[in-house]
Amino acid sequence: MLYRGANLIDQGQFEEGVEQMSVALQYYLATGAEFGLPYYYSWLAEDQIGITDADAALESLDKVLAAVGKSNEQFFEAEALRLRGEALLAQSPNNAPDAEACFERSLETARAQSASSWRLRTTMSQARLWRSNGKETEALAAVQTAYSTFEEGLDTPDLVDAKALIPELS
């Protein structure tokens, strides 16, 4: 059901897909399973942000961070913190300071884990926020630095997005 929901979202049926994913997670939890919850809830939160349901996304991200704390399954922690910042910004532009704090925590976590991809994603989120606050120079330098650490996989979606963001910030 979880993957069916994701497929519905990919087909443009956003609300139905998010609902399917939410129900699937309820069933998953009912089995007593806990493995993978940070991943699944992060996935759901990203889609909830996509349908502009920031409040639901923040609830899902609270569940991610609770699961990380309980299971010590930290693989998705940096991404969850980045998504929390994105959800806060989607909720209100007035949440920019809190979003910035989430991005900083995400970057700290990504660095500690040597998670270059999470670092790149968070750097792009932070750069977009900085651009909206008139900090284009800092944003450009941050994205260029994060992008330059990659030597392969330059055609992957995140690196393609980063490369496209660089001239936008120039």
Assigned domain for 150 exists: yes
The whole-model pTM stands at: 0.90
Per-residue pLDDT at 132: 95
Per-residue pLDDT of the chain (170 residues; tens, 9 = 90+): 888 988 898 898 988 998 999 999 999 999 998 888 888 888 899 989 988 999 999 999 999 888 888 888 888 899 999 999 999 999 999 999 999 999 999 999 999 999 999 999 999 999 999 999 999 999 999 999 999 999 999 999 999 999 999 999 99
Q: Which of 93, 125, 142 delimits the end of a domain?
A: 93
Residue 100 forms part of a structural domain: no
Q: Are residues 68 and 131 in the same domain?
A: no
Instruction: State residue 120's pLDDT score.
Output: 98
Both 14 and 69 in a single domain? yes
14 and 63 inside one domain:
yes
Regarding whether 40 and 5 lie in a shared domain, the answer is yes
Region class of 72: left (phi > 0), else alpha (psi between -120 and 50), else beta: left
**Residue range of the domain that includes 60:** 1-93
Please report whether residue 105 resides in a domain: no
The confidence score (pLDDT) of residue 73 equals 80
What integer pLDDT is reported at residue 12 of this predicted model? 85
Question: Do 55 and 134 belong to one domain?
Answer: no
In a domain, 24, yes or no: yes
* 148 in any annotated domain: yes
HSE-CB for 34 with a 13 A CA cutoff: 12
Long-range contacts of 50-54 (CB under 8 A, 24+ apart): 50/9, 50/14, 51/14, 51/15, 51/18, 52/90, 53/18, 54/87, 54/88, 54/90, 54/91
Please count the structural domains in the chain.
2
